[in-house]
C-alpha cells in the first residue's frame, strides 16, 4: 500500500480497495497554499497506480471541504502586488506558476482510479476546481458553494472555467455563477447536476460515499478504470474519435480474465473476486 | 417502400412516412447476438434513403426494449475465454470485431431520418448504446435502465461511453451510472434528461411516439433531415465550425420549394404537403 | 459613452456600467428584417470595447422579445421563391447571405461584456438564435418559445443548431424541440436549463436582470471579461486546451491592480471600485 | 487467400504476402465508372484482414495508371445535366452519391495493410484521389499527372482536396496544380514529395515496387500495421493525441511474440519469420 | 466592377477577370501603417464577391513587395513604449489591436477568389504574414525574405507563425528562419516550397503571374472557388471532416451548368465561357 | 546556472546563454536505457526556466548521436518476453511505461528554449524520436538515420510516428522510411527537410550549431520563446485558433521593454542587450 505521507492530508483505508483522502487543515477551513497543492499532486500520483486502491474518496476535515485558496498566503505569492518590472517577464513567471498549479489539480482527473469528491460546509473557489476534476460529486445538505474567483479580481484559472461547462448541462447557469461569484446551495447544485446526491449531513454523506465506493470497488478494476479513461477522452472529442479510441483500448482490455470471472459469478449469483490492477 | 425483411426485427408502417421497427426476440428479452446487429445495420441503411420514410420509431416486442447483449451467445464469440496465443494478434481481431459492432449501432445515428427510441421493461447494457445513437428517447414508467457493462468485466464499447456524456448534461451522473452499473428508473432518466418523456405504460408510450413522429413527419423533410444532420455535426465541433457547415448545407437546402409551400400553408392555415425526399 | 444610434433598438443606461438594449419594433412583435440584424451587429461591436459598459441586458419592447424573422420581408429576400438560374451560383449568394447574417448574431457572443437575454411574450425562431448567443437567459412566466424554423421549411441556420446543444444538457430535448417546432413554456425552459430564472412578469424580470447585471458590474471588469472569454473558448475545446489558454490569458490579467483592490475591499468589507476597461 | 474476383481489376500474388492489384480496363486508359469503384472498395475490404497479405501494390494495365473518371459514363450519372426539379432534393441525392464514392476510395486508406501506388502513363483526376489515399507513391519517368477536376467544372471531391495538402509539403504548389489543372511530370512530383521514387519505365517501377513491398513484407506485421495506423491517426490530430493513441495501441501490440522473434533474428543475423496476422 | 478606391493601393484589371493589386507606397518600400491594413481589408472584401473578378495578383510598386511594418509609425502605436498603467488593461487594448490587424490580413485568405502573391526586392516581416495568407506565392530572383519580427523584440503575430508551418513542409526550416530572423533568398524559398516559381526579374514575374492568373480565370469559377475553399478547410481538419465538407459543398456546386459547358467545350476542343459568379 | 548533474549527459556552457548537452555513453554508441531518459527529462525541465540559458544544443559524444534504445537493457524491461498473466493487466503496465517514456522525450518539445539537435554517426530509432521533439535538426555528412523500430517488431511509440509527419512535408516518404526501417543518409535527410543543414563533419557541425545558437541567443528572449511556443501550438490547430492564441500571448509579451531596446539598437546599429528571462 502507498506509503507517501503528506503533511496536510490524511489518508486512510476504511475498506479494502478504498482510499479516503481528507484535506486536513481545519483551523483554516482547509484553505490551500502552495505546499498543499504540490502534496495533492504527489498523493494522487502515488495512489493512481497503487494496486491496492480502486476508488478514492476526497473530503475535508472540520467545518469545510475547503474554503479555497488561502488568500493571505497567495497575497505574497501568485497574487502579490505588481512590482514594477518587465510585464512580459512577469507574465512568463505567472504562466509557469499557473500551469504548475493546474497540473497539481489535474492529477485528480489523470488518476486512473475514480475519485468521489464528498463536500460539506464550504466549497468555495479552488474547491470547485478540485471538484470538477473529480469523477463524481456528492455533498451534505449544508454545503455552500461559490465560483468565488471574480470576487478577488481574477478569472478562475485552475480548471473551473475549462471543466464546469463540461460537468453540468446548463451553460447559462455556469456563466451566472462564474460571473457573479454568488453562493449556491446543495439543492441548486443537485438540480443543475453539479452534484449527483445530497445527504443530510457530513457523517451520512461519508457513509454514502463509502457505499458508492464499495460498490465500484467490487467491480472488475479493468472495466472500471477503462470506463473512467474512455469517458474522459470522449467528453473532449467527436463521437467517432471516442469510438475508435474505445475499440483500441478494449482490444487489450477484453483479453482480461475478469470477463470470465464476472460472467461466472453472475451465473453463480456470488460475489466476484478480481485480481489486483 | 423498403422491402428488406430482417429475421429479428419487424417493420411496420402504421402511418404515412412513419416506420416502426420492433426488436423481435421476445423469448430472450430481445437480447442481441451478432446476426441481429448486422441486420440492424442493414435495416437502418435501407430506411435511411427511403423516400417513403420520414421518421422511425424503435421499440421492443414483449417485456423489454432489450436486455442488452446475449451474454450466452457472446461467451463463445467476442467474450470467449482467452485462449493462449499472441495477444497482439488477438487484439487485432478484437479491434475489427468491436469496430464492426460499433458501425452497426452507429447506423442509427447516421440514418438521415430522425429515430425515436421508445423503451419499456428492461433497457440494459447494449440498450443504452442503441438509445444514445437515436435522436429522441422516451420510455414507459416501468423501464429499468442500466449501463450494465462493468458488471460483465468490461468498459462499454459500443457507443455508450462516447455518446452518453453528450446526450445528458451531468457528467458526474454519467460516471455514477457507468462506474456502478446500478439500475435507474424512468423518473431518474427524465430528471437527468436521458429521456424527454415518460408514459404510463408501453401502449400509451407507443401512442405518444406515434404522435411525436406524426408531427415531425408533417414537416418539410428537407428541413427535418437538415436539422438532424447539423445538430449532430455541431455537437462534436466548435460553434464556428457548426455555423460554417450550416451555411454550406443550407446554400443548397434553402433552394427548396418547401419553403414556399410551408409559408403559403402557414398563411392559408392549412396542412402543407411536401414532396418526397 | 457609445453614441451609435440604431433605428430599431433603444439603448439606455439605467445604472452605471449597465446598457439596456431593447428591440424596438413592437408593432411587428419585434420581428427582424435585414436592416435590423445589421444594426444589431454594429450596436454590439460598439458596446463591446466601450469602457463605460460592463454588462448588457437585451430585451424587447411591447408584447414579445421577438417573434423571430419577419417572414414577409424575408419572402422577398433570403426566402424568395427559387428563380430559375444556376443552382451553384444561387448557392454562392445564399452562403454569403447566411454567413453575414450569422456574423451579425455572433456579435453578441463575441461582445467582450456579458449579455443577459431577458425574454417575455414570444421568443420564436430567431429569438432562440439570439438567446443562445447571449451569456445568460432569463424569462417572464408568460414566455412562449419555439425553435420555429422547420415550420417554414428550413433548418435553423443562424446559430440555434450550433449553440443550443452546448447551452442545455439534454441533447434529446434539443432534437425534440428542433425537429417538431413545438411551443414550450417558461417552466420547461427552466427545467432543461435553457433559462436560469423565471420571473412572474416582464417588469419583475427586467428588475431581476438589472439586479443580476448590477452584481456583475460591481466586480472587476478584468475578472468578468476574462471569465466570459475563457468559458466560451473552453466550451468548444478539450480541457487541456482550455487550461493552457487560461494560463496564457491570466499571465497578463493577473498583473492587474484589481486583485489588490478586490482583496483590500474584501478585508475592509467595503465596496470595491475598479478602473474602467 | 482472398477469393473475391473483381471484373475490372486483376489480383495476383507475385510473392509471399504481396498482392498486386491492377486496374484493368486498358482500352479506356483504366478510366473509372461506378461499378469499378464499388469493386475497388470490396477488393480492399477483402484484402485488408486477409492474413496472407501484408503489402499491396496498386498499378494500371496498359498505357496508364488511370486517366481518371470515365467522363462519358459520368455524364449520364453524377455529372448528368441538371434536370429541373427541387435543387434541395437533388442535393440530397448528390451528397449520398459523393459520400458513397468517397467511401470507396477511402477503403485504400482504411486498409490495414500498406498500399503502394505505382503509377505510369497518365495519372489524372481520380488517379490523384486514389494515389493520395495510398501510403506510398512511386512512378515511372513518363507519368503525366494532373488534378484535372476544375477542367470539367468541379472541385475535386473524392479526396484529393482533403488529402493532398497533408501528403506534400508545399501548400502553394497544391493550390497551383489544383486551381490550374495543369499537367506535371515525374520530376516535379518527386521534387515536391508527391512521389518518393521515379523509375525509368513501368517495368522497372513494378520491379522497384516489388522490392519495396518485399522489404516491408519481411517485417513483423504487428509492427507494420501499427505503424500505418498510428501515422494516419497522428497526421490529423495534435501531437499529444497521437502520443496517447500510440501508447494505448502499443499496450496490446508490445505483447506480441514478434518482438522476441525480431530481436533474436537480429542477434543471430538471420531472417525472421513472423506468424500471420 | 468594384469601385472602391484605396489610397495606398492601386487596382488595375489587366485582363478580363483579373485584378492586379499593387501596394503603392514605394517611397517607404511599401512599409505598412494602420491605415494601409484597414484599406487592404476593405479592398479584399470588395473584390471577394465581385463577379467580374476571378483571380487577384498582389504585388508591390517600386523596389520591394513590402519591407513590412513601418516601424517608425508603429513606434507611436502598437509598439509604443510601455507607459505605466494597469498591465491587464493594456493587454486588453493590445488584444483588440492585434486581433483587428490579424483580421485585416486574413481578408486575403477569406477572399473567395485565389490570390497570387508576386514578390520582388524585399519581402520582410509583415510581407510573410501577407504572403502566407495568399494562395500561391511566386517571386523574382532578387527577392530577399525574412521573418523579421524577433529582430524588433516580438513574436510574429499577424499570421506567419500560424500559417507558415502549414504552407511549407519542413517545420525545422520554419523554426530556423523564425527564430533567427535571418535573410533567405529566392532559391531557398523555392527549395523549401515557400514559393512555387522564381522568375528572373519583376517584369517577367508579373508576366508569369498574369499567365497563371489567366489560366485559372479561364476555368469555371464555381470549380475554382470551391477548390480554394475546400483546400483551406481541409488543411486545418481531419481528412474525414474534409471529405464530408466537400460532399456537402459539392451537393450544390455540382448542379451548375458549368459542368456541361466544360464537358462540351472539352469535346469540341474550344475555349469554354462560364457565366459570372 | 543550473546545477543539476546528470550521470549520462554532460552539460557545458560554451558561450553566454548557450547550453550544450551531450549524450555521454560513447562506449555503447549512446544507446538509451531507462535511467537515461529519466535524466533527460530532469535535465530539460531544469534548463527550461533557467534564465541563463537561451538556446540548447543537443549532440552525442563519441561515434554517434545515439544508436537508439539499448535493446539489451530493454529486453529485460519494456521488451521483456511476454510472461503468462492477464493481458489486460500487462497492458495497463505497458501504457504507464510508454506514457512515462514519451513524457521524458516530450520534455525537449516542452522546454521553453529552442533546442538544436546536432547529429552525427548513427541516429537510429529513439534518435529520431528525440530529434523530432527538438526545434531544429542539423547533421554531419556521415550521419546514418533510420526509423528502426519495425526491425525490432514494434511501431515506434516514443514520438516519431506522431511528430515526423508534422516535421517533414512528404507523408509518403515518412511512410516509406517508417514501414521499411531502411537507412537514409544526410543528403536525403536534407532533401526531404528532416534536417535543415548538413556539415562536413561533426566538428564543423558543432561549430555551425554554436553559430546558429549564438545568433538566436542574441535576440530578445521574450520574442524567441514566444515564437517557439506559438509555432508549436499552431502546428496542431486550425489557423484561427493559432491566431487567437497569438494575440492573447502577445497581449502580455508586447509590453516588454525588449521592443524598445531592439528598435533602438536597430537605429543605432549596435548589438542589443536584453534582460534575462
The alpha carbons of chain D give a radius of gyration, in whole angstroms, of 20
Instruction: Please report how many Cα atoms fall inside a 13 Å half-sphere around the Cα of residue B200, on the Cβ side.
Output: 1
> Chain D closest CA to C240's CA: distance in Å?
10
pLDDT band at C81 (very low <50, low <70, confident <90, very high): confident
Is A87 an interface residue toward E (CB < 8 Å)? yes
Tell me the three state secondary structure of residue B122: strand
- Return the H-helix or E-strand segment holding B160: helix B160-167
Between chain B and chain D, the number of residue pairs with CB atoms below 8 A apart is 60
User: What's the pLDDT at D76?
Assistant: 82
Tell me the pLDDT of chain E (277 aa) as tens digits: 557 999 999 999 999 999 999 999 999 999 999 999 999 999 999 999 999 999 999 999 999 999 999 998 988 877 887 777 899 999 999 999 999 999 999 999 999 999 999 999 999 999 999 999 999 999 999 999 999 999 999 999 999 999 999 999 999 999 999 999 999 999 999 999 999 999 999 999 999 999 999 999 999 999 999 999 999 999 999 999 999 999 999 999 999 999 999 999 988 989 999 999 9
Q: Which residues of A31-61 are buried (b: 16+ CB within 10 A; e: fewer)?
A: bbbbebbbbbbebbebbbebeebbbbbbbbb
The Cα–Cα gap between E243 and D133 comes to: 12
Please tell me which of the candidates F153, F161, F176 has its beta carbon nearest to residue D230: F161
Domain of residue A38, residue span: 9-217
Residue C272 lies in a domain: no
Query: Virtual CA dihedral for C188, C193, C195, C196, nearest 10 degrees?
Result: 120
User: What's the pLDDT at F84?
Assistant: 75
- Chains contacting E (3+ CB pairs below 8 angstroms): A, B, C, D, F
Residue D126 lies in a domain: yes
Q: Alpha-carbon torsion A94, A96, A100, A103, what sign?
A: positive
ipTM of the complex as predicted: 0.96
User: What's the pLDDT at B2?
Assistant: 59
The Cα–Cα gap between E258 and E95 comes to: 44
User: What's the pLDDT at C267?
Assistant: 86
User: What's the pLDDT at D118?
Assistant: 98
pLDDT band at B1 (very low <50, low <70, confident <90, very high): low
Please tell me which of the candidates D82, D87, D240 has its beta carbon nearest to residue C82: D87
> Chain A closest CA to C72's CA: distance in Å?
32
DSSP string covering chain D = ------SSEEEEEEETEEEEEEE--GGGTT-B-HHHHHHHHHHHHHHTT-TTEEEEEEEESTT-SB--B-HHHHTTTTT----SS-HHHHHHHHHHHHHHHHHHHHHHHH-SS-EEEEE-SEEETHHHHHHHHSSEEEEETT-EEE--GGGGTS---SSHHHHHHHHSS-HHHHHHHHHH---EEHHHHHHTTSSSEEESSHHHHHHHHHHHHHHHHTS-HHHHHHHHHHHHHHHTS-HHHHHHHHHHHHHHHTTSTHHHHHHHHHHTTS-------
Average pLDDT over residues B161-172: 97
DSSP string covering C54-78 = EEEEEEESTT-SB--B-HHHHTTTT
pLDDT tens-digit series, residues B35-74: 999 999 999 999 999 999 999 999 999 999 999 999 988 8
CA angle D203, F174, D219 (to 5 degrees): 70
pLDDT tens-digit series, residues B86-124: 999 999 999 999 999 999 999 999 999 999 999 999 999
User: What's the pLDDT at A84?
Assistant: 75
User: What's the pLDDT at E83?
Assistant: 73
C17-23 and C9-15: which strand pairing?
antiparallel
Is A251 an interface residue toward E (CB < 8 Å)? no
User: What's the pLDDT at A184?
Assistant: 98
Q: How far is CA C186 from CA C141, C145, D73, in A?
A: 5, 8, 58
Nearest to C43 by CA among C91, C11, C83, C69: C11
**DSSP state at residue F196:** S
Please tell me which of the candidates F88, F255, F277 has its beta carbon nearest to residue A252: F88
Residue A135 lies in a domain: yes
pLDDT tens-digit series, residues F174-220: 999 999 999 999 999 999 999 999 999 999 999 999 999 999 999 99
- Return the H-helix or E-strand segment holding C22: strand C17-23
> Chain C closest CA to E130's CA: distance in Å?
24
Nearest to A49 by CA among A130, A110, A6: A110
Is D151 an interface residue toward E (CB < 8 Å)? yes
User: What's the pLDDT at C196?
Assistant: 95
Please tell me which of the candidates B49, B92, B222 has its beta carbon nearest to residue D88: B222
- Of A198, A217, A236, which marks where a domain is finished? A217
Nearest to D41 by CA among D100, D102, D105, D95: D105
Whether residue A156 sits in one domain with residue A187: yes
- Of D198, D217, D236, which marks where a domain is finished? D217
Q: Closest-CA residue in chain E for F255? A: E82
Is C275 an interface residue toward E (CB < 8 Å)? yes
User: What's the pLDDT at E211?
Assistant: 98
The alpha carbons of chain A give a radius of gyration, in whole angstroms, of 20
The Cα–Cα gap between D262 and B52 comes to: 59
Q: In this structure, how many other beta carbons lie within 10 angstroms of the beta carbon of residue F200?
A: 12
Nearest to D168 by CA among D133, D193, D137: D193
Residues 6+ away with beta carbon under 8 Å from E65: E23, E30, E59, E117, E118, E119, E120, E121, E122, E123, E127, E131, E143
Whether residue E206 sits in one domain with residue E93: yes
Share of chain B above pLDDT 90, in %: 91
Whether residue D260 sits in one domain with residue D141: no
| SS3 assignment for chain A | CCCCCCCCEEEEEEECEEEEEEECCHHHCCCECHHHHHHHHHHHHHHCCCCCEEEEEEEECCCCCECCECHHHHCCCCCCCCCCCCHHHHHHHHHHHHHHHHHHHHHHHHCCCCEEEEECCEEECHHHHHHHHCCEEEEECCCEEECCHHHHCCCCCCCHHHHHHHHCCCHHHHHHHHHHCCCEEHHHHHHCCCCCEEECCHHHHHHHHHHHHHHHHCCCHHHHHHHHHHHHHHHCCCHHHHHHHHHHHHHHHCCCCHHHHHHHHHHHCCCCCCCCC
Nearest to E102 by CA among E73, E78, E123: E78
Q: Which positions in chain A touch C251 (Cβ < 8 Å)?
A: 91-92, 94-95, 98
Whether residue F249 sits in one domain with residue F126: no
Tell me the three state secondary structure of residue F17: strand
Is F244 an interface residue toward D (CB < 8 Å)? no
The Cα–Cα gap between B21 and B253 comes to: 29
Report how many domains make up chain E: 2
Stretch among B253-262, B264-273, D170-179, D180-189 having the lowest mean pLDDT: B264-273
Cell of residue A45, nine digits: 500520483
The larger pLDDT score, comparing residue C84 to residue F2, is at C84
Tell me the three state secondary structure of residue F172: helix
pLDDT tens-digit series, residues F134-157: 999 999 999 999 999 999 999 999
Residue A123 lies in a domain: yes
Please tell me which of the candidates D88, D89, D253 has its beta carbon nearest to residue B88: D253
pLDDT tens-digit series, residues F40-96: 999 999 999 999 999 999 999 999 999 999 998 988 877 887 777 899 999 999 999
Whether residue A149 sits in one domain with residue A48: yes
Whether residue F32 sits in one domain with residue F65: yes
The Cα–Cα gap between E118 and A208 comes to: 71
> Chain B closest CA to D112's CA: distance in Å?
10
Residue D119 lies in a domain: yes
Q: Are C37 and C7 in contact (CB under 8 A)?
A: no
Whether residue B134 sits in one domain with residue B52: yes
> Do C227 and A179 count as a contact with CB atoms less than 8 A apart?
yes
Q: What is the CATH number of the domain that holds F248?
A: 1.10.12.10
Residues 6+ away with beta carbon under 8 Å from F114: E175, E179, F55, F56, F135, F136, F216, F224, F228
Please tell me which of the candidates D168, D175, D236 has its beta carbon nearest to residue E231: D175
pLDDT at F2 over 80: no
B12 strand-pairing partners = B20
The Cα–Cα gap between C55 and C213 comes to: 6
pLDDT band at D77 (very low <50, low <70, confident <90, very high): confident
> Chain D closest CA to F104's CA: distance in Å?
12
Residue D226 lies in a domain: yes
**DSSP state at residue F70:** -
Q: Are B124 and B68 in contact (CB under 8 A)?
A: yes
**DSSP state at residue C202:** H
Is A184 an interface residue toward C (CB < 8 Å)? no
Mutate which of C92, C155, C237 to disrupt the E interface (most E C-beta within 10 Å)? C92
Between chain C and chain E, the number of residue pairs with CB atoms below 8 A apart is 60
Q: Alpha-carbon torsion A111, A116, A119, A125, what sign?
A: positive
Q: Are B178 and B156 in contact (CB under 8 A)?
A: yes
User: What's the pLDDT at B79?
Assistant: 82
Whether residue C242 sits in one domain with residue C200: no
Stretch among D75-79, D84-88, E57-61, F6-10 having the lowest mean pLDDT: D75-79
Mutate which of E84, E87, E89 to disrupt the A interface (most A C-beta within 10 Å)? E87
Cell of residue E57, nine digits: 495578383
pLDDT at B78 over 80: no
pLDDT at D89 over 70: yes
Q: Closest-CA residue in chain A for F91? A: A252
pLDDT at B10 over 70: yes
Whether residue B94 sits in one domain with residue B145: yes
Residue D272 lies in a domain: no
Please tell me which of the candidates E87, E152, E176 has its beta carbon nearest to residue F262: E152
Residue A1 lies in a domain: no
Whether residue E262 sits in one domain with residue E174: no
The Cα–Cα gap between D168 and F174 comes to: 11
pLDDT tens-digit series, residues D9-53: 999 999 999 999 999 999 999 999 999 999 999 999 999 999 999
Whether residue E230 sits in one domain with residue E158: no
Whether residue D239 sits in one domain with residue D182: no
pLDDT tens-digit series, residues F109-133: 999 999 999 999 999 999 999 999 9
Q: What is the CATH number of the domain that holds B131?
A: 3.90.226.10
pLDDT tens-digit series, residues A18-59: 999 999 999 999 999 999 999 999 999 999 999 999 999 999
Share of chain B above pLDDT 70, in %: 99
Instruction: Please report how many Cα atoms fall inside a 13 Å half-sphere around the Cα of residue F154, on the Cβ side.
Output: 29
User: What's the pLDDT at C1?
Assistant: 57
> Do D169 and F169 count as a contact with CB atoms less than 8 A apart?
yes
> Do B167 and C168 count as a contact with CB atoms less than 8 A apart?
no
Average pLDDT over residues B1-12: 88
Which segments within chain F are labelled E, that is strand? Answer: 9-15, 17-23, 53-60, 115-119, 122-124, 136-140, 144-146, 184-185, 197-199
Amino acid at each position: 500500500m502507498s506509503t507517501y505521507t503528506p503533511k496536510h492530508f490524511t489518508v486512510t483505508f476504511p475498506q479494502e480497495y478504498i482510499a479516503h483522502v481528507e484535506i486536513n487543515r481545519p483551523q483554516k477551513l482547509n484553505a490551500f497554499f502552495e505546499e498543499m497543492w504540490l502534496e495533492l499532486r504527489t498523493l494522487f500520483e502515488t495512489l493512481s497506480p497503487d494496486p491496492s486502491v480502486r476508488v478514492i474518496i476526497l473530503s475535508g476535515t472540520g467545518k469545510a471541504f475547503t474554503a479555497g485558496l488561502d488568500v493571505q498566503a497567495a497575497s505574497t505569492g501568485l497574487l502579490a502586488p505588481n512590482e514594477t518590472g518587465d510585464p512580459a517577464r512577469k507574465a512568463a513567471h505567472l504562466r509557469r506558476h499557473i500551469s504548475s498549479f493546474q497540473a497539481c489539480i489535474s492529477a485528480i482527473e489523470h488518476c486512473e482510479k475514480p475519485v468521489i469528491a464528498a463536500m460539506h460546509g464550504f466549497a468555495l473557489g479552488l474547491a470547485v476546481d478540485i471538484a470538477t476534476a473529480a469523477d463524481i460529486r456528492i455533498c451534505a445538505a449544508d454545503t455552500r458553494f461559490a465560483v468565488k474567483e471574480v470576487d478577488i479580481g481574477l478569472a478562475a484559472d485552475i480548471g473551473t472555467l475549462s471543466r464546469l461547462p463540461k460537468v453540468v448541462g446548463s451553460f447559462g447557469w455556469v456563466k451566472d455563477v462564474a460571473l457573479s461569484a454568488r453562493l449556491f446551495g446543495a439543492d441548486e447544485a443537485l438540480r443543475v447536476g453539479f452534484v449527483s446526491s445530497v445527504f443530510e449531513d457530513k457523517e451520512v454523506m461519508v457513509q454514502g460515499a463509502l457505499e458508492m465506493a464499495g460498490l465500484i470497488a467490487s467491480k472488475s478494476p479493468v472495466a472500471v478504470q477503462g470506463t473512467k479513461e474512455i469517458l474522459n477522452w470522449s467528453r473532449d472529442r467527436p463521437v467517432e474519435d471516442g469510438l475508435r479510441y474505445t475499440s483500441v483500448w478494449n482490444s487489450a482490455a477484453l483479453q482480461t480474465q475478469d470477463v470470465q470471472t464476472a460472467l461466472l459469478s453472475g451465473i453463480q449469483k456470488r460475489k466476484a473476486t478480481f485480481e489486483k490492477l
